[in-house]
Amino acid sequence: MSDLVTADTAAYRPPSGYFDEVFGADGVPRAHAVSLAAEIAKLGPELLTAAGHRRDAIFVQQGITFDATGEDGPVKDRPFPLDLVPRILPAAEWDHIERGLAQRIRALNRFIDDVYHEREIVRAGIVPWRLIVSRSHFARAAHGVRPPGGVYCHVAGCDLVRDADGSWKVLEDNVRTPSGISYVLENRVAMTRLVPQFFQHHRVRPVDHYPQLLLAGLRSVAPSAEDEATVVVWTPGPMNSAYFEHAFLARQMGVELVEASDLVVRDDVLYMRTTAGLRRVHAVYRRLDDDFVDPLEFRPDSLLGVPGLVRAYRAGTVAIANALGTGVADDKAVYHYVPEMIRFYLGEEPILDNVKTYIMADDAQREAALARRAELVFKPTGESGGKGVFIGPATPREALDGLADVIRSQPEKWIAQEVVNLSTVPTAMPDGSLAPRHVDLRPFAVFGEQIRIVPGGLTRVALKEGSMIVNSSQGGGSKDTWVLEDDAGRGAPGASDTQLHEVVPTQMPGLRYGGDWQGQQQQQQQTRPAIGRRERRGVGRGR
Amino acid sequence: MLSRIAQELFWLGRNVARAEHTARMLDGVFQASLQGRPDDPAGVRLGWGSLLAIMGAQADGRPVRRDEVLNRLTLTRDEPASVISCVSRAREGARTMRDVISAEMWEAVNTTHLALSAGDLEGRMQMGPYSVFQYVKERSALFWGLTSRTMLRDEARAFLVAGGRIESADMVLRMLRVAMPSPGEQAEGTDGVRDGQALALLQAVGGFQAFRRAVPAPPNAGPVARFLLYERAYPDSVAASVDAVHGALVDVDAAPRSSEPVLRLSRLAADLEFRGRAAAEDGNLAEASSLVQSELALIDADIAERYFAGAGAAGGWDRYLVA
């Protein structure tokens, strides 16, 4: 064991059968995490706990909270649980993930376009048309409409997991309204304030340019004539559990946060109501599902929608991100076909694998999967947030038998997946000790003129021992996720080797310090300044 | 009012403003440095060496270490530019004017001074400088808030405000001059990361959200510098500060039309207005910053001569430069 690792990190044992991202099976930290482990050990359990208390106070003060369902029922305004031990990824590993995600998003985008236009993939017999049209997010209103630039999934947040052998797999694709990016940014700021010493020996890639990427991406797809495109963030309202994030993104981008009542369509053009009358809106980053955007096209009972928005969209006067109908790719049954899509549309081999998935609508696959029902995970296809998921090994036999009947009656609404032994990362317990907890990763991509992915993403962590449910809405926590710079040939951070003569403008005047009345009086008695003082002004420099 | 008191008030304002700006600046650079922004030679530079330069402190050509700069510019009493020195000078100034400023203002300054002097400040700096900087920022906001609530809007307040605003303008200009790329090497980054130093600059003056709401352009070096120099709607821009100093002096001067500092300020305000309009074409912001800064130095000297020289104390101001 490395002599750097003392105190609480010495007591840490990664669980067997899982991949621990900081410590190897022998308890020695992995090469890229050695100095992080040392800093944690140096801090010790007490100071780590103290930093945790400061974090909660700051989060409550700043309103970084989340509504969750706890053991005692719903909890409102709980400080978003950020674990102070970061997750750390070396540059090469991130490079692999980044390429894999970009590839996947390109393929998904082609798929959505195909579904609403030529349907080549259906005619090629790869994805059954019946499956596509039966998806609840399939939008007839999107037929034949091609958004500007041909981009549908402007914002994507695919969930990745790491299996026992350390390989990365895609667990699901979120291309409707993936949440969590605000926590990525806020977590980083909080970490630099709470535990700056952790950063000392690493060069961590910044994440705070995400709002800039998003704004640029939205502007690049906005159908605007000469002047700057007007972009808005559309929220269902303050009652939504992700409202903090909606407000955060609007604030960071410097755009308006609108609700349905602020928007109106006139002659197929979208406007917002301002104190100076109606103002044209060119691009909408909407944070609500298709079903609610326009009562004339989707659910007529939706009070959140804007009547006529779909007409405006079809007329091409407004960009909607993500585009209408994108949800068809955000479906656990369609997910199964993504590797095939990559081969079909891009002619490439998938860089990132799927988790092995079985389609319950397929009789053979279903019966084989149901026979192994105590070993697999069963998921309803149209749900998100971990709702309705049955984990075979953790579910009583009777419940699984009941589930089998439900699945047989509505097979197209279910999939089964192999259990992934999610990797673990050391996580601080209330007493400051470290314990392994399971994590996943949600990186965020913006697709405008090209695909940009923020280094890292939201690492969600299951705070209960042994649990693999990481969803924030079910009490999961999060970790700051570091992607390290490729540090070959660079000096240690913390020191700036910049020589002063390189940066200092030559004419910088010195700082003045006044207010010392005594000193001035003495000065005045000694020398009354020369009349020619004015000539010397402006060149008075410290050096 | 007494020249001596006017000068004390002017410097009280400067010291409070300087303490706040220094704290903001250190906090901004500290956070940016932890995030490992790539040092782009063509981008904005706001590193530890630059900070010493901004504050007129020297490193004698040695490589500059983070902890050294943080400690020197925050805690060191022998360093006249440090936050703690600014606060203790402000407190000494306020103590001699307890009859002029309101009791609440005095208490605000005094408490700040005592809190920074007491306790394990070095320990707090070690654990996380943010808490120290945040404290200084909050206390400064409290001071100015109390000024606007509890102090008579008279001559005394005008000098206090003039001092605070001229210091603000000077600090922003210093940051701009050190951090901005030189003419001809201005790079417009595209991936958002390279421009991050411009973000750090905005964070360092506390203008990030204001910039976002006011300027549709991405936070690249050029738009950020234009914003900090010319945007009158942003209260901490150089143009807004110059306007405020001008307004304060017009209010107190018995004959503003023949007052040299007032006339200079009018010309400078008009010049900033003109440059702001032309700035889109004229790219040389570094040169503009330098010109405005030397003009401010002249105004500063004129203020000293016109208002504070009555007591015969304004002479030899260059004695107070950092040697």
Work out the average pLDDT over A31-54: 91
Residues 6+ apart with CB under 8 A from A506: none
Kindly state the average pLDDT of the residues A346-374. 92
Does A311 contact B at CB distance below 8 Å? no
Give the number of residues written for chain B.
Answer: 323
CA of B7 vs chain A CAs: smallest distance (Å): 7
The CA distance from A78 to A68, in Å, is 7
Element (H, E) at A293: helix A290-293
pLDDT tens-digit readout, B113-122: 999 988 788 8
Least confident span in A296-310, B138-152, B186-200: B186-200
Q: Is pLDDT above 70 for A399?
A: yes
Q: Do B130 and A193 touch (CB under 8 A)?
A: yes
User: What SS3 string covers A344-411?
Assistant: HHHCCCCCCEECCEEECCCHHHHHHHHHCCCCEEEEECCCCCCCCCEEHHHCCHHHHHHHHHHHHHCH
Residue A264: what pLDDT? 96
Residue A157 near residue A322, CB atoms below 8 Å: no
Instruction: List CB contacts (< 8 A) between B300 and chain A.
Output: 512
pLDDT at A529 over 60: no
Distance, C-alpha A114 to centroid of its chain: 27
Which residue is it, tokens 């952790």?
A198
Closest CA to A314 of A116, A501, A503, A144: A144
To which residue do tokens 């369902």 refer? A69
Query: What percent of chain A has pLDDT above 90?
Result: 53
Q: Which residues of A touch B214 (CB under 8 A)?
A: 254
Q: Which chain A residues contact residue B59 at CB under 8 A?
A: 500
Q: Would you state the pLDDT for residue A526?
A: 42
Interface size A-B, in CB pairs within 8 Å, comes to 211
| Chain A residue at shortest CA distance from B179 | A503
Q: Which of residues 248-277 of B touch A (CB under 8 A)?
A: none
Chain B closest-CA separation from residue A480 CA (Å):
12
Q: What does the DSSP 8-state code read for residue A299?
A: -
> Would strands A445-447 and A434-442 be described as parallel, antiparallel, or unpaired?
unpaired
Answer whether B128 sits within 8 Å of A208, measured CB to CB: no
> Are A216 and B213 in contact (CB < 8 Å)?
no
CB A286 within 8 A of CB A321: yes
At residue B171, the pLDDT reads: 93
Longest dimension (CA), chain A: 103
Closest approach of chain B CAs to the CA of A210, in angstroms?
A: 8
Q: Which residues contact A367 (CB under 8 A, 6 or more apart)?
A: none
- pLDDT over 70 (residue A489): no
Task: Encode pLDDT of B3-58 as tens digits.
Answer: 989 999 999 999 999 999 999 989 888 887 777 665 544 445 667 777 887 887 76
| Cβ distance of A209 and B129 shorter than 8 Å | no
In the structure, what pLDDT confidence band is assigned to residue B279 with cuts at 50, 70 and 90?
low
Interchain contact A144–B (C-beta under 8 A): no
More confidently predicted of B222 and A44: A44
Choose the mutation target among A218, A449, A496 for the interface with B, i.e. most B CBs under 10 Å: A496
When pLDDT is cut at 50, 70 and 90, the band that residue A517 belongs to is very low
Q: How confident is the model at residue B192 (pLDDT cuts 50, 70, 90)?
A: very low
Instruction: Report which of B106, B121, B137 is spatially closest to residue B26, judged by C-alpha positions.
Output: B137
- On the question of pLDDT at A161 being above 90, the answer is yes
Please give the Cα distance from B247 to B227 (Å, whole number): 21
* CB atoms A493 and B297 under 8 Å: no
Q: C-alpha angle A259/A262/A265, rounded to 5°?
A: 115
Check residues B101 and A542 and name the one with the higher pLDDT: B101
Burial label, A199 (beta-carbon count in 10 A; 0-12, 13-18, 19+): buried
Question: Which segment of A191-195, A402-406, A433-437, B219-223 scores lowest on mean pLDDT?
Answer: B219-223
- For A171, the 3-state DSSP assignment is strand
Weakest mean pLDDT among A147-161, A190-204, A402-416, A523-537? A523-537
- The stretches of A157-283 forming alpha helices (DSSP H) are 181-194, 210-221, 243-253
**What letter would DSSP give residue A528?**
P
Comparing CA positions, the residue from B90, B183, B152, B178 lying closest to residue A514 is B90
Q: How far apart are CA B305 and CA B221, in angstroms?
A: 37
pTM: 0.85
Query: Do the beta carbons of residue A39 and residue A200 sit within 8 Å?
Result: yes
Find all residues with CB under 8 Å of B180, minimum gap 6, and list them: B44, B221, B225, B285, B286, B289
Residues A205, B193: C-beta atoms closer than 8 Å: yes
A-chain residue closest to B215, CA distance:
A254
Q: Is B12 within 8 Å of A515 when comparing Cβ atoms? A: yes
Report, as an integer, the average pLDDT of B233-241.
96
Per-residue pLDDT tens digits for A164-214: 999 999 998 999 889 899 999 999 999 998 999 898 888 888 898 899 899
Is a pLDDT exceeding 60 seen at residue A94? yes
Residue A523 to residue B148: CA distance in whole angstroms? 35
CB-based contact (8 Å) between B133 and chain A?
A: no
Selection from B110, B106, B88, B84 nearest residue B97 by Cα: B106
**Interchain proximity B8–A199, CB inside 8 Å:** no
Q: CA–CA separation, B104 vs B93, rounded Å?
A: 15
Query: B206's torsion region: left (phi>0), alpha (psi -120 to 50) or beta?
Result: left
On chain A, the residues whose CB falls within 8 A of the CB of B320 are 512-514, 516
Task: Summarize chain B as % helix, strand, coil (round to 5).
Answer: 70, 0, 30
pLDDT given for residue A513 in this prediction? 81
Pick A537's closest partner by Cβ from B48, B127, B297.
B297
Q: Answer whether residue B124 shows pLDDT above 90.
A: no
Across the interface, whether the CB atoms of B209 and A254 are under 8 A apart is answered yes
pLDDT per position as a tens digit, A100-122: 999 999 999 999 999 999 999 99
As for the ipTM of the complex, it is: 0.81
Residue B10 sits at the chain A interface (C-beta within 8 Å): yes
Percent of chain A with pLDDT over 70: 85
Q: Which residues of A touch B291 (CB under 8 A)?
A: none
